[in-house]
Amino acid sequence: MIKSFQPPQRVLMGPGPSDVSPRVLEAMSRPTIGHLDPEFIRMMDELKALLKQTFLTENELTMPVSAPGSAGMEACFVNLVEPGDKVIVCQNGVFGGRMKENVERFGGEVVLVSDEWGTPVSVDKVKAAFETHPDTKILAFVHAETSTGVRSDAKSLCAIAKEYDALTIVDAVTSLGGSELRMDEWGIDAIYSGSQKCLSCPPGISPVSFSEKAVEKVQSRESRTPSWFLDKKLVMGYWGGDGKRAYHHTAPVNSLYALHESLVILQEEGLENSWARHAKHHEALKAGLEAMGISFLVEEAYRLPQLNSVMIPEGVDDAAVRSALLSNFGLEIGAGLGALAGKVWRIGLMGAACNRRNVTLCLSALESTLAEMGAPIKTGQALVAAAAVYQG
């Protein structure tokens, strides 16, 4: 006989999921109601309004996809890429590679702009790619690369696309709520995010938004979208603005309660205050880690405050350290992905997990664990260095 599952209490400082506020967990356990209940529909309207505030957009087609971030990505590509469309895909980490896979599976022609992992998308290379391929229909790039902790210059990249009248698809899975992101001001046409990063909600939902221009492309496409579940033409009937809620699929009711609550919390704090909070705790974490002699993968100007990729000190056993942090402190930090596996740790400071208690725990637990393993680090200085940031 299998028994009820009682998860351990962790502190989640990996690349997501991040710590979930007790308020959000409690919201998720409220009574399930029907997906066509008038009260639920009222909640959906509020959810749309909250998401618009968070993406900083006026887009009518702003809604949560009923599945994780990868499905949000797919919702953008499967609706906007038509067979034969030329798409410039920028790859500087795992998720750019996934975009490329998406375009190929939906019959698009990929023009790849590659940059080294740990560096941002090169604005110059994108410019050059458009000069060579002025008939490009879509520019796709990752704003915040979760695999490396790099922020790319979304504003400048979108401006180039605009010159060529191309649509933009932007991965904001890790940036939404954690650092500056202005959908309308920057001219982003399609964006997707995830519930489990800086929104600090359990994983499983992917907020997306489509500009009017993107909606036009969806409405006018000649070929049928090769997905029923993600077909925006159909989904709009349920989430659309015309007041009629046609049944499409059964919405994940309780997961949406959770997202709603997490967005209410973000609204209470204020979006820009949240960005500032992420920046502040990142500074403290950075000061502490550097005081230990641990360096960052990414150049300072392109670092994401919410996701810190740091070099694993020489000779240190990656898995042993993460395992010790988990079993001795209940602390999760992330491993490197793909080419960076074994080389970096990814320390998240996302949403509810981004606070002084966690910064201090992470520095203490890491110093204590590395010291115990005889790693080549400087001890006794990290906490003071972090404290100085908080005082300053």
Q: Which is nearer to a second copy, 34 or 134 (CB)?
A: 34
| Total residues interacting with a second copy, rule: CB under 8 A | 82
Cβ distance 306 to 193 under 8 Å? no
Binding flag, residue 204, a second copy (CB under 8 A): yes
Count of alpha carbons within 13 Å of 89, Cβ hemisphere only? 23
Binding flag, residue 25, a second copy (CB under 8 A): yes
Binding flag, residue 8, a second copy (CB under 8 A): yes
Binding flag, residue 32, a second copy (CB under 8 A): yes
Q: Which of 56, 162, 229, 293 binds a second copy (CB under 8 A)?
A: 229
Q: Which is nearer to a second copy, 241 or 270 (CB)?
A: 270
Closest to 303 (Cα-Cα) out of 390, 168, 192, 179: 179
Chain positions 127 to 146 lying near a second copy, rule: CB under 8 A, are none
Q: Which of 41, 123, 264, 279 binds a second copy (CB under 8 A)?
A: 264
Give the integer Cα–Cα distance in Å for 41 and 36.
Answer: 6
Catalogue the E-assigned strands of 172-278.
190-192, 206-210
Q: Which of 57, 59, 62, 66 binds a second copy (CB under 8 A)?
A: 66
Chain positions 284 to 313 lying near a second copy, rule: CB under 8 A, are none
- C-beta of 40: minimal distance to a second copy in Å? 7
- Which of the stretches 113-121, 131-139, 214-222, 254-262 binds a second copy when contact is defined by CB under 8 A? 254-262
Spell out the residues 6+ positions from residue 234 whose beta carbon is closer than 8 angstroms to its own.
Answer: 228, 248
Question: Residue 288 is encoded by which pair of tokens?
Answer: 């502490």
Given 3-state DSSP classes, what are the helix, strand and coil percentages for the chain, each rounded to the nearest 5?
Answer: 45, 15, 40
Whole-angstrom CA distances from 162 to 165, 213, 301 are 5, 11, 25
- C-beta of 28: minimal distance to a second copy in Å? 5
Annotated ligand binding at 346? The verdict is yes
- C-beta of 372: minimal distance to a second copy in Å? 21
Q: Which is nearer to a second copy, 78 or 385 (CB)?
A: 78
Spell out the residues 6+ positions from residue 233 whose beta carbon is closer than 8 angstroms to its own.
Answer: 218, 219, 225
Binding flag, residue 332, a second copy (CB under 8 A): yes
Binding flag, residue 318, a second copy (CB under 8 A): no
Give the integer Cα–Cα distance in Å for 352 and 317.
Answer: 29
Q: Which of 114, 227, 364, 368 binds a second copy (CB under 8 A)?
A: 227
Binding flag, residue 248, a second copy (CB under 8 A): yes
- C-beta of 342: minimal distance to a second copy in Å? 15
Give the integer Cα–Cα distance in Å for 169 and 149.
Answer: 19
Binding flag, residue 30, a second copy (CB under 8 A): yes
Closest to 55 (Cα-Cα) out of 30, 72, 74, 35: 72
Cβ distance 360 to 386 under 8 Å? yes
Look at phi and psi of residue 91 and say left if phi exceeds 0, alpha if psi is from -120 to 50, else beta: beta
- Which of the stretches 10-18, 111-119, 175-183, 306-314 binds a second copy when contact is defined by CB under 8 A? 10-18
Q: Which is nearer to a second copy, 164 or 229 (CB)?
A: 229
Binding flag, residue 257, a second copy (CB under 8 A): yes
Q: Which is nearer to a second copy, 283 or 318 (CB)?
A: 318
Chain positions 36 to 55 lying near a second copy, rule: CB under 8 A, are 37-40, 43, 46, 49-50
Closest to 367 (Cα-Cα) out of 392, 391, 386, 388: 386
State the DSSP code for 121: P
Spell out the residues 6+ positions from residue 341 whose beta carbon is closer than 8 angstroms to its own.
Answer: 335
Chain positions 179 to 198 lying near a second copy, rule: CB under 8 A, are 194, 196
Q: Which of 261, 324, 370, 377 binds a second copy (CB under 8 A)?
A: 261
Q: Which residues are annotated as a binding site?
A: 346
Q: Which residues are annotated as a binding site for substrate?
A: 346
